[in-house]
Structure 1
C-alpha cells in the first residue's frame, strides 16, 4: 500500500500535471508525469511477490511452563535466476493474548537457495501460543510503496501448567481387577454406546439389527466399570478467582489440577477432567488406545476464566456419573455456598475432595463429608494432599 510519501508524490504529480495542462506550462506537465511514473514504477517493484516457500515447525509442540521451546522457519527461494534480499518478521500470539512481531535478520537467498531461522518462544505463561505466519515486507528505493505478504502456516504450542509430585490418590469404592487398588466388589465391562465400524473391530460386537436399519455397520462400544475412576472438576469461573500478593488462584488451581491428574494417571486410574464451563476429557472406551497425559494437560493449557460458567449446572452434570467415582474439586473460591453445592454430591461420590487455592485458603473451615485441602499455592497443595491419612 502507498506510504505517506507515496500519497504525497502521487497527489503532487496529478496537481502539477493538471495545472500545467490548464495554464499551458509543459514543464509542470513533465514534472507531473515524472512523479506519476515514479509512483507506478514503485508499485511494480514493491508489488512483485517474493518467490518463497516457507515451512515452519516448533520444537517441541508441548512444554511445561518455563521450559525452552524453539520455532524453526525453513525459508526457500523458488526463483529460477534472481537472488532475493528480504526483511521479515514472525507473528507470535502469546499465551497472554499479546500479539507481537519477532523481527528476523536480513534474509539473503540465491536462486533455489534455502536458509533456516531459529528463535525462542515465550513460555513464561501457561496457555496456547500461535506461531506464524511470516510477514515479508518490501519497499521501493524511494519509499513510495510498502507491501507486506504472509507466508507459511500457523503452528500452535501448548504451554502446560507446571505439576508437583503427589504420592497418593483416592480411588473411591471402585476396584481394579489387576490388584493395583481394591476397595469394592462390583464392576464389569458394560455396554456404552453404538458407533460406526472401523477396520480391526471385532465382528462379534457388530449390532446387526441397527446396521441393517441404517445401512452401515455399527458396533457396540463397551466400558470397563470395574476400573477405578476419578473425576477432577476444575473451577474456571472468572468470579471464583482473584490475584492477591502476586498469587493468581486460577493459575495455582490449574497447577494443582495437573498434579492430581498426572498422579492418577501414574496410578493407572481412569481419569475424567471437567471444567465447570463444560469442556472435558474422558478416558477412551475399552479396547481403544489408552489416553496419555497430553489431552488432559492440553485442556488445562487452553483453560480461560469464563464469565458464563455455572457451578450448579456443573454439579447437575456430575450427578449423571455412575456411583463409585471419586470427585476432586479444584477451585479458588472461598464461598461456603459454592463448596456446599459440591458437598451435596456425597450421595453420588463416596469420596469428595475439595482443594481450595489462593490467599486466605488455609483459614477455611471444615465441610462435613468433604475432605478439605486448603493451600495458598499449588506447591503448598502437594504436601497437604499427601498428608491426608485416610481418603
Structure 2
C-alpha cells in the first residue's frame, strides 16, 4: 500500500494543523486537521479493499514463428458478490503494458480484451500478470496487486525450407540411397519389462541374474542421425546492433531449418548447445526460442568438442557459429573421425571463410535464407 504525493502532503498538513490548533487553542484549525487526517484514513481503507477477480489468458497460438501473428485473449471476471469493480488495470506483455478497462465491472460479470503479442523478435514472451491499481476517489492512496499467472508465448526462429537432407554414413533400407549395410538393427541397451512388450525381446540371461524381466532396446543404425550444434557463446557472435545479434539469430534460423528438414524426412536429429543451458523447454524449436548468448571462450568449445567426440551421437554433424569463432574451426575439424560428415555454417563474416578450412565443408551465409540456398548446393555429404 502506498500514499500518493497528494496524500503525503495532506497528512503533513493535518499534523501541522492539529499541532497548531491544540498548541494555541484554535479549535477551527484542529477541526481542519482532524478532517484531513480522517480523509487520509478513509483513503487507506478504500484502497485496501481487495477486489475478487479471476484472470484467464488464452494465446492463439502460443507457439509461432518469428513475424507471424499471435493474439492474447484476456478474460477478467468479478467473482465478488457485493461491489462492482471500478479499477485501473494493465497487463504486462513482454516489455509493454496493455491497458485493461475494468470500469463498473459488476459482480458475476466479466470483460474480455484481445491484443497482439509482439513477435518481431525470437524469444519467449511472458504475458502477465495483470496489475490492478486500486485508488480512492480523492487520489490520496493507491494499492497495486497482481492477478493471474503469466503465460509464455514461444516465438520460434523462421524456418527456411531445405530440399537436401544428409544421408549419413548408414544407409536407409527403403531405397533412399545405395550401399545398404547388413544388420541394420543393433542392440542399444536393456530396460525393465512393461506390459505390452514382446516376449521375444526379453533377455533371459540378464533377467535371471537381476531377478526381474529385462527387455532389449534396439536402434536402427541404417538411418542417418543428424546432430545440430549451435554455438551460443557471445565471443562467437560479437556484433551487437540495436540490441540484436543478427549472426546469432541467423544461426538459430539455420538450426531450426535443419531440424525441421530432418523431421520432414522422419530422420532422427538432435540439437545441442556449445554452452548447455538450464531450461524448461523440451522440444528443439522451444529450445531455440529460449536460447540466449552466454559467456565462454575457447576452453568451453574444447569441452563441447570432447563431449561430442566421446558420445558420437550421430554420423552427420552440423556446426553453426558466428564470425568470432572462425579461428577455432580447427577444433571442429577434429570431429571428422567420429562424424563422417561435418558441415560448418558461419554467419555474419565480412569475408568468405577460406575454402576447405580445417578440411571441413564450410557454408558462409549472411542470414538464414542464404544458408538454405547454400545448403541445397552442397553436392556431397
- Partner residue in 2 for 1:374: 364
CA 1:33–1:189: 2 relative to 1, 3 Å? farther
CA 1:125–1:175: 2 relative to 1, 3 Å? same
* Pairing 1:295-334 to 2, within 5 Å after superposition: 295-308=283-296, 310-322=300-312, 325-333=315-323
Match of 1:342 among 332, 357, 376: 332
Superposition deviation, residue 382 in structure 1: 1.0
The 3-state SS of whatever aligns with 2:165 is coil
Q: Kindly tell me the number of residue pairs found equivalent between the two proteins.
A: 371
Return the TM-score normalized by structure 2: 0.88
Match of 2:239 among 240, 243, 249: 243
CA 1:130–1:244: 2 relative to 1, 3 Å? closer
Return the TM-score normalized by structure 1: 0.86
Structure 2 gap ranges (5+): none
Superposition deviation, residue 336 in structure 1: 4.3
CA 1:110–1:265: 2 relative to 1, 3 Å? same
Report if aligned partners of 1:138, 1:147 keep a CA contact under 8 Å in 2. yes
Superposition deviation, residue 389 in structure 1: 1.2
Whole-Å separation in 2 of the counterparts to 1:112 and 1:176: 62
CA 1:245–1:277: 2 relative to 1, 3 Å? closer
CA 1:177–1:361: 2 relative to 1, 3 Å? farther
Match of 2:187 among 171, 179, 190: 190
Match of 2:270 among 269, 272, 279: 272
Superposition deviation, residue 245 in structure 1: 8.1
- Partner residue in 1 for 2:250: 252
Whole-Å separation in 1 of the counterparts to 2:71 and 2:214: 45
CA 1:48–1:335: 2 relative to 1, 3 Å? closer
Superposition deviation, residue 28 in structure 1: 2.4
Match of 1:166 among 162, 166, 174: 162
* Pairing 1:71-90 to 2, within 5 Å after superposition: 71-90=72-91
Report if aligned partners of 1:244, 1:359 keep a CA contact under 8 Å in 2. no
Report if aligned partners of 1:242, 1:248 keep a CA contact under 8 Å in 2. no
- Partner residue in 2 for 1:62: 63
- Partner residue in 1 for 2:37: 36
Cα RMSD of the aligned pairs, angstroms, is 2.9
Report if aligned partners of 2:73, 2:113 keep a CA contact under 8 Å in 1. yes
Structure 1 residue 110 corresponds to structure 2 residue 98: no
Superposition deviation, residue 358 in structure 1: 0.9
CA 1:131–1:335: 2 relative to 1, 3 Å? closer
Superposition deviation, residue 86 in structure 1: 2.2
The 3-state SS of whatever aligns with 2:296 is coil
- Partner residue in 1 for 2:172: 176
The 3-state SS of whatever aligns with 2:262 is helix
Range with bigger deviation, 361-370 or 313-322: 361-370
Structure 1 gap ranges (5+): 94-98, 282-292
Superposition deviation, residue 294 in structure 1: 8.0
